[in-house]
Amino acid sequence: MIRKIIKIDEDKCNGCGLCVAACHEGAIGMEGGKAKLLRDDYCDGLGDCLPACPTNAITFIEREALAYDEEAVKMNMQKNSQKKDDKLPCGCPGTNAKTINKKDTNSPYVAVSTETIKMESELNQWPVQIKLVPTNAPYFRDAHLLIAADCTAFSYGNFHHKFMKNKITLIGCPKLDNIDYSEKLRDILKVNNIKSITVIRMEVPCCGGITNAVINALKESEKIIPWQVVTVSTSGEIIL
């Protein structure tokens, strides 16, 4: 049948996962760091997900689609309710509460007294938030950029020395900031001679938004700049 149903523009989607939380019927899920309509028959066409999207990636269209199956949706919601203790609060692994146990025997570092060592910051500029930095700041000239998700510096213990040293650091959270970083990053790349970009993200799917923003910014800037992505696990290990 032809009916009204949502459409998700993957190019605009920043992977924040807010639409997944807004879709009570469970029609939307995350695949490859992007939101995707998983089941036509779970989408009621009312659009509760539309206002939740910070990048306006969701719109209505009319197309051939399965009819909305209210009974199937109720059964799915009931099943999910029964698994509530095992289910994440908003469908995003980034909200999963857990305790991280560190074992000294596995640590590559030797324990020392805090009185005998001084850890110095490798931060080379201010501000650091993507949404606050001016696009034409002088420190961007010939800079090597580090674009990092907020949580990475807290998860990886040697973050300053390993990643921030000799770089200009920009941080943000695509899930919490109600903006698309692509435009700001594009402007920074366009007006400055950026030498390289290192993206540091967490392993959780919503963190894919910061990688997607960099990819889109590179495309729109029409510049060829060496870049790489490093993924940090929630237990503080580099996994990619």
Q: Please name which of 141, 148, 133, 134 lies closest in space to residue 210, comparing C-alpha atoms.
A: 148
Q: What pLDDT score was predicted for residue 92?
A: 55
Tell how many helices (H) and how many strands (E) occur in the chain.
6, 8
Which has the closest alpha carbon to 94: 37, 30, 184?
Answer: 30
Helical axes 208-221 vs 181-191, angle rounded to 10°: 40
Evaluate whether 160 touches 121 at the Cβ level (below 8 Å).
Answer: yes
As given in the structure block, the two tokens for residue 88 are: 């994440």
Residue 152 structure tokens? 């990475």
Q: Over 80: is that where the pLDDT of 113 sits?
A: no
Per-residue model confidence as pLDDT tens digits over 62-103: 999 999 999 998 888 887 766 544 444 445 555 555 666 665
pTM beyond 0.85: no
User: First vs last Cα of the chain: how many Å apart?
Assistant: 44
Between 178 and 32, the more confident residue is 32
